[in-house]
Structure 1
C-alpha cells in the first residue's frame, strides 16, 4: 500500500505542475480523481497531534460552507447548490497534501521548481507554436483561452522560482521561470496576467530580500522593486512596447479624455457596475450560481449592455453577484488559505512555503481583477495543487499507520 501511495504522490506532483499548459483536461481529471482518492488518507493524519494544514483546511472549508449557505435562499433546484462543486478542489487540499507528503524528503523546493519550470517551458512552446506557426493573433488558443493560458504560465513561472530557495547550485536556472512566463504572456496578448506579472515581481524580490536581509533593508528592496515596475510600465507605454496587447492604449486615452473607447473594456466596466448593482439589490446572499450573469444584466444601468457570458470577467464581480457578502467572505478566505497554511509550516522549507503562498495568493488576486480565475477548472485545480504543496513542505514527522 505504501508503494502505491508513493507512486500516486509522484503522479500528482508531475501532473499538477507539468501538464496544465498542454493537457488541461487530463490534468483536471487526474488531479480531481487523486484528490478524491486522497480523502482516504485523512485516516492517517486525522488523529495526529498536529495534522498537516489543519488551519488552512478549516479556512478553505469555511469558505465553501459560506458559499453553499448563500446559495440555499436563491436555489430553484438542488442543482443550483451542487454547482458550488466547481470549487471542490479547494476543499480537498488537506488530504491532497497528505498524499504529497508521502514523497518525504524528496519533496524539495528544487523538485517543485524544476517541474514548474518544465510546465512553464511547455506553455511557452505551445504559445509560440500557435503564434508563429499557426499564425494565431493570440497564442495559446489551441489549448486554452489565451487569458487562461497566460494565467497558467504566470503561476507556473513564479512557482518555478521557488527552486532558488533550495540548496543546489542550479539556483540561477529557476530565474528562467519568470522569463518564460513573460514570453508566454506576451504571446497570448493578455492584459490581466501582464498586470499580475508586475505584482509578482515585487512579491518575488521582497520574499528573497526578507529571507536574506534585515527587515529594514528588505523594505527598501520592496520599494525599489515597485519603483522599477512603475518605471518599466511608464517607459513601455511611452515607447509602445505594449501595443500588441489589445486595448492597452486605452490607459492613455482615459488619462487624456476621462473615458475608454475600446469595446471590450467598456463591456467589462458595464459588467462591474452591473454586478455592484446586483450586490446592492441582494447584499447578504446574492443571486445564486445558476444565473448570476443574468442577474447582473437585469440590474445594469440604463444604456449599459453586454453579452450573457459564463462569468462577469472578475472574481470580485462574480462572488458579489453570486453570494453577496457571504460570497465575498468566501473569496477572501480562499485567497487567505495558502498564507494561513504557510504560516503553520515548520522546518527548512518554511521560507519556500511562505514565498509560494504569497505568489499564489497575490497572483490570483491581481489576475482575478480583470478575469475569472476561481471557477475556471484548470486554474482552480492549479491553485489547489500549489496550496497542497505548501502544506506538504512541512517537515514535521507524519505518523504512518498504513
Structure 2
C-alpha cells in the first residue's frame, strides 16, 4: 500500500498578515467614510474615492474562499447583481447605437456591494452598531455646519453642498438621519441618545435645504424605528402596532389642522391636496405631475425594454412639448424626478423589476441574517435605507447618479456585514 500524501494546509485568508490586515482595515475605513461622511464633505468625489477603495478590495473577494462564500450566500448580493443584469439586458436590447449600452456604467456601484460586504463581514464587530451610529451623528453635526455656512453666501437661499444642489444635499441628510437612529438598539444609553441627536441635527439641516420630499421620509423611517425598537425591547406585537397606528393618526390630524407655510413642511399639504383633487397648485409639483403623466405614455410606447438610459428623457420631453408647447422649464432636468418613472421609461418592465430588487435587497439581507443580538438593528437599518430611498426617489433621481447609488450600496454593505455580534467562522 502506498502512503497517502499529507493534506495540503489551507491557505491563510487574504489580509490575515499584519500588513494585509492594515491594508484591509484602511480600505474598509475609506468605504465607511464614503458611506457616512464623505457625501457631506466631498460630494460626488467622496463616492469615487469609495468606489476605488472597493475595487482595491476585489482581491479579498476573489482569493479568500470564506469571504467569497459568505458574500455570494448573502441575499442582497444576489438581488443587486440580478438588478444590474436586468438593466444591462434592457439597455442592450433598446440600444440605438453601441455607446448606449455603455451607460450601464451608472449602475456599476451595484456590483461594488460584493467587495464592500466581503470586507465588512471580515471586520464584523459587536461594536458595529455603536460605530455606525456615532460616526453618522458626527457627520450630521458637520452637515449642520456646512448647511449653515452655505446660507451665509449671497448666491443661495437654500442650504446646499458646494458645487451641488439643495435636493441632493437634503437626500443625503435624510438617509443619514435614518441610519443614525440605529443607535436606539445599542446597549449604551449615550449611543441611543447620540442616535436621536443625529436624527434631529439632520432634520434641522434638511429644513434649511427647504426640500419637501426629504421631509416626507422622516415619518416613514421614524415609524419603522419605533416599531422595530418596541419589538426589540420586548413590547408585545399588538401594543407596538397600536402605538405606531396611533402616531400615524395623530400625525395625519396635525397635518390637517396646522397650517405651516415653511416650504419644507408644505409637502404634506400638497400630498393631501393631490389626494383630494388629483391636482396640485404649486408650480414645481405641477411640473412633476406633467412629467409623470408623460412618462406613463412613454412607457407604453416601449413597455418591455424601454427607450434606453440615453433616450428616456428625450422620449418623455417630446410628449410634454407636444401637449403643452415649448416650455424651457422642462429642458434642463435630464431626468423625470422619479426613480420609478426613470426606470420604467428607460428599461421598461425589466427596469421596474430592477428597481424593486434594488430597494428590497437590504431588507432581504436583514431578514435572512442570524438572530445574533443585532438583528433588530440590521433590520431597522435596512428598512430605513430602503424606505428613505423609496420616498426620496418618488420625486427625485436617486439611483443612476454616482453619489446616491454608491452611498446606498456602501451603507447596505456596512449595515448587513459590519453590524454583527460575531465574525463569520473560517471554513476549511
**TM over 0.5: same fold?**
yes
Per the alignment, residue 209 of structure 1 pairs with 230
Partners of 2:365 and 2:174 in 1: how far apart? 22
Partners of 1:292 and 1:49 in 2: how far apart? 37
Per the alignment, residue 59 of structure 2 pairs with 40
Q: Is the 8 A contact 1:44 1:400 kept in 2?
A: no
Per the alignment, residue 82 of structure 2 pairs with 62
Verify: 1:83 aligned to 2:103, yes or no.
yes
Per the alignment, residue 7 of structure 2 pairs with none
**Partner SS for 2:297:** helix
Verify: 1:73 aligned to 2:89, yes or no.
no
Deviates more, 1:364-373 or 1:122-131: 122-131
Q: Residues 55 and 20 (structure 1 numbering): CA distance in 2 closer, same or farther, change over 3 Å?
A: same
Displacement after TM superposition at 1:138 (Å): 0.8
Verify: 1:381 aligned to 2:406, yes or no.
yes
Out of 195, 216, 219, which is 1:195 matched to? 216
Deviates more, 1:192-201 or 1:134-143: 134-143
Deviations 1:318-352 (A, max 9, x none): 00110111000000000011001111222222111
**Partner SS for 1:288:** coil
Out of 324, 330, 351, which is 1:327 matched to? 351
Deviates more, 1:93-102 or 1:299-308: 299-308
Verify: 1:172 aligned to 2:193, yes or no.
yes
Partners of 1:219 and 1:245 in 2: how far apart? 26
Out of 347, 350, 356, which is 2:381 matched to? 356
Partners of 2:74 and 2:56 in 1: how far apart? 19
Displacement after TM superposition at 1:249 (Å): 6.6
Q: Residues 234 and 367 (structure 1 numbering): CA distance in 2 closer, same or farther, change over 3 Å?
A: same
Per the alignment, residue 8 of structure 2 pairs with none
Q: Is the 8 A contact 1:42 1:98 kept in 2?
A: yes
Partners of 2:67 and 2:406 in 1: how far apart? 27
TM-score where L is the length of structure 1? 0.91
Q: Residues 254 and 2 (structure 1 numbering): CA distance in 2 closer, same or farther, change over 3 Å?
A: closer
| Greater radius of gyration (CA) | 2
Per the alignment, residue 323 of structure 2 pairs with 302
Q: Residues 232 and 50 (structure 1 numbering): CA distance in 2 closer, same or farther, change over 3 Å?
A: farther
Q: Is the 8 A contact 1:18 1:116 kept in 2?
A: yes
Displacement after TM superposition at 1:252 (Å): 7.5
Per the alignment, residue 220 of structure 1 pairs with 242
Displacement after TM superposition at 1:25 (Å): 2.8
Out of 101, 116, 133, which is 1:96 matched to? 116
Partners of 1:219 and 1:146 in 2: how far apart? 35
Partners of 1:141 and 1:320 in 2: how far apart? 30
Displacement after TM superposition at 1:173 (Å): 2.0
Structure 2: unaligned runs, 5 residues or longer: 1-19
Per the alignment, residue 13 of structure 1 pairs with 32
Displacement after TM superposition at 1:124 (Å): 1.6
Q: Is the 8 A contact 2:288 2:336 kept in 1?
A: yes
Displacement after TM superposition at 1:380 (Å): 1.0
Q: Residues 334 and 46 (structure 1 numbering): CA distance in 2 closer, same or farther, change over 3 Å?
A: farther
Q: Residues 334 and 385 (structure 1 numbering): CA distance in 2 closer, same or farther, change over 3 Å?
A: same
Q: Residues 45 and 209 (structure 1 numbering): CA distance in 2 closer, same or farther, change over 3 Å?
A: farther
Deviations 1:126-165 (A, max 9, x none): 1111124547211115353101111101111111111121
Q: Residues 40 and 232 (structure 1 numbering): CA distance in 2 closer, same or farther, change over 3 Å?
A: farther
**Partner SS for 2:189:** coil
Verify: 1:119 aligned to 2:139, yes or no.
yes
**Partner SS for 1:290:** coil
**Partner SS for 1:312:** coil
**Partner SS for 1:207:** helix
Q: Is the 8 A contact 2:373 2:421 kept in 1?
A: yes
Per the alignment, residue 108 of structure 1 pairs with 128
Deviates more, 1:248-257 or 1:5-14: 248-257
Q: Is the 8 A contact 2:67 2:118 kept in 1?
A: no
Per the alignment, residue 183 of structure 1 pairs with 204
Partners of 2:363 and 2:288 in 1: how far apart? 30
Partners of 1:302 and 1:366 in 2: how far apart? 28
Per the alignment, residue 337 of structure 1 pairs with 361
Deviations 1:173-217 (A, max 9, x none): 211122112111110000110111221221221121221212111
Displacement after TM superposition at 1:399 (Å): 5.5
Structure 1: unaligned runs, 5 residues or longer: none
Verify: 1:313 aligned to 2:333, yes or no.
no
RMSD: 2.5
Q: Residues 46 and 318 (structure 1 numbering): CA distance in 2 closer, same or farther, change over 3 Å?
A: farther
Displacement after TM superposition at 1:254 (Å): 5.8
Q: Is the 8 A contact 2:27 2:56 kept in 1?
A: no
Q: Is the 8 A contact 1:131 1:138 kept in 2?
A: yes
Displacement after TM superposition at 1:48 (Å): 6.4
